[in-house]
Structure 1
């Protein structure tokens, strides 16, 4: 289970009368966040019976929970409800948890027939989803440490950020501060970049594809300092940042069309069903093996015209050597305005 799950100090429980529960009451549980704000209140009010008084409890480790029954799991026309599991809270009501939550509970504690779940539990939220967390689970300590920081409701200010230092976000993600720089939005449709107003905060992370989180502001986003020391590989990370198109825009005037060798095309086709490349006129072409399994190959060329689609495909067939000599295929390397390689056409297609 993730350790960035929020464990509130208090929960707020609303009810509806249900005959298929131990106590006749089914609960919808919401919580107060670190600022004391009641979350999900609108949907909670829409669900509960306002004639039944709600109850507020301290979210402290509690024992005596009992598994009751399966709920949901049906699909009739447009009416679909996911499968949940009913759980009895010893304070006199039932609520529902997801099947993955149940499996996590059973990985970390026992359910004894007639006695219920062993050990103490607390309520927590993974985003908008309620989860019941066993105190004896290996993740509980990390969760409590993280939540202690969240409940302190303190945040790192922009003026206190240090280059190369590591910070913890409210989502329990560690970020390395790279500095403040211009930020660009690149439009592939119009093949141009626009610079955003003002400088942006650049952070390195292992948790996203690009490797960088970029923010216009850091207000209420960084909750603690992991390390004030500059990371040893800061220079390496900076080199990586310089290859990011948000840091430096793509400059197509620097594009380079470099030739493939026949051996590279042949090897590429052995590992892929086609090779996307360019001909001498910088038009897009595809090399692929003939579907007739006759030892021949085909080249499909996209040709712009005035048709409804703006282009048409023309296909040519021959031996690989003949097609290679006729089209002299190339790959395109794309560069940024700062001269850094953005896309290696040979290795990235």
Structure 2
């Protein structure tokens, strides 16, 4: 491929917001008009606003836990906007920006982190699977789904506009899991139409990537015969271009691809983590200067394509989203405990029904004891 940044990453927008010439990757970004870039800026801004609001709600005791994507908006919006029907997304638990590109209602997503539901959106409607909290397990689900798409004739059909693929998101820490490596094996030997998208935010909770691998994470694909590419994850344009290429590759029947989006998690791993114990303020400041939203904003300003009225409108939209998120979460009431047995399986299941009946009797026993007191 074409020129790389000093870090060996595909880059189309440098840290100062200036476009980088790259004839190999430019064809996959040439359709991005200033209007499209403003959409990217808007989506990243809304994602960050929602993320900050969710963090605040957790600190106030309204959520049990929150998993921030602060600093990773470029990787998520850049890739998410390359997805189309009939593509299907398997997220882990941090892909809030990708969810936004799939038209998932962000405030409703918080039922999971409130402990009210297993998941609040329809995976079929949004082509966006429920979050998976077991690290790396969903990569096997994604591989199976991709193989099924191929067998159903939805890949390499000779009609590129109708072909689809699967994209699966996970972090750097997940690449050390056995499930992920098994997924690489199955995807490769079955030529699955699957894009493995690694958001390398450089920390598996507190463990840096340097203690997880002696080579780049992208290079792990080599042993499985999977094409791979590393991209500057804070460059939304480059991420979009690379994901466009990878999805087209997979949709055409050429098999899986591994993308490593090199980014940085500006927040803690979750709200139960203390990032000051394993990284420095100097390191964090270095990455603040590489902020994906600021970078695109600088570029749009250089083009004279970020008018005040547009910025004002997005700021108002973000403020309204924050307000709606707060009001939605604080209006929720505790559901009946028996609802935890709903939607475990698509069809009725004898064991689940037996467990529901037992738990109902268990609850009733407290009521009965109280009535005899």
TM-score (norm 1): 0.22
- Normalized per residue, the structure richer in helix is 2
The structure with higher relative contact order (CA 8 Å, sep 6+) is: 2
Q: TM-score, normalised by structure 2?
A: 0.21
Q: Indicate the structure (1 or 2) with the bigger Cα radius of gyration.
A: 1
Which of the pair is proportionally richer in strand?
Answer: 1
